[in-house]
Amino acid sequence: MTQYIYAMFFMSGWFSWWDTAAYGPNIAGGLAGGLVGGLIALAIALLVSKREVKQYENQRIATRIDALRRSIVDEFAIACDRLLNSSPAECESAFYRANHAATEVLLALREIRPETQNFQWFDQEWKSVHEIYERQLILARVVAKDARTPVVVEPLKSDELDRATGSLTRLTNACHRWALQPVERWSPPRDPKADEIERS
């Protein structure tokens, strides 16, 4: 049976048109070209896929970092609200909580690239608050004369109260705004005087 089939196809002249010398190189070249093209396409697809995965991971990490930064400034704004509304007996603990939160905000602002004016503005405003409250706490400790005695901070003088309240209000408002915005849109509050000059 096998011999019959062989004779039928190959001895009957059905494949007499086939010329291995003429068609063989073309077929081999086509197969080789297809294989090389397929490998190149596969390599390109892998590179593109790897790059897209890396971009997605970088975006996901950046999103998480931005969310953390917004959480940090929001916590600072809450601490400032508590400090502004604290009683003389609560002032010390409220100040230290706000100071700790301010340190975290400064660290977060320092890491943002490209650099902006946010760090310098925040640092200057908080230094003004820190100086006033730290001086009041030192005086309160001197009056207490004993580390075990509760520290009661005397009310601020009118000029110091105005300075501290002004700085805390500006810091609080800015941080409340930053907590709701993407980090790339963060900016210090505009100077009201500059706005008046522009409008005029």
The pLDDT value recorded for residue 195 is: 35
Query: How many domains does the chain divide into?
Result: 1
The pLDDT value recorded for residue 57 is: 77
The pLDDT value recorded for residue 172 is: 93
Has residue 33 been placed in a domain? Answer: no
Give the domain range for residue 124.
67-188
Has residue 126 been placed in a domain? Answer: yes
**Euclidean distance between CA atoms 35 and 26, whole angstroms:** 14
Has residue 93 been placed in a domain? Answer: yes
The pLDDT value recorded for residue 109 is: 92
The pLDDT value recorded for residue 147 is: 54
Has residue 138 been placed in a domain? Answer: yes
The pLDDT value recorded for residue 59 is: 79
Has residue 197 been placed in a domain? Answer: no
Has residue 198 been placed in a domain? Answer: no
Please give the full DSSP string across 169-197, using - where no structure is assigned: HHHHHHHHHHTTS-GGG--PPPPHHHHHH
Q: Is 152 exposed, middle or buried (0-12, 13-18, 19+ CB in 10 A)?
A: middle
Has residue 40 been placed in a domain? Answer: no
Q: Is 20 exposed, middle or buried (0-12, 13-18, 19+ CB in 10 A)?
A: exposed
* Phi/psi of residue 36, nearest 5 degrees: -65, -45
**Euclidean distance between CA atoms 24 and 30, whole angstroms:** 10
Has residue 46 been placed in a domain? Answer: no
- List, run by run, the mean pLDDT of 10-residue segments along the chain (200 residues): 54 53 62 74 78 75 88 94 86 90 94 84 93 78 58 65 88 94 88 42
The pLDDT value recorded for residue 179 is: 93
**Euclidean distance between CA atoms 167 and 133, whole angstroms:** 12
Q: Is 112 exposed, middle or buried (0-12, 13-18, 19+ CB in 10 A)?
A: middle
The pLDDT value recorded for residue 196 is: 36
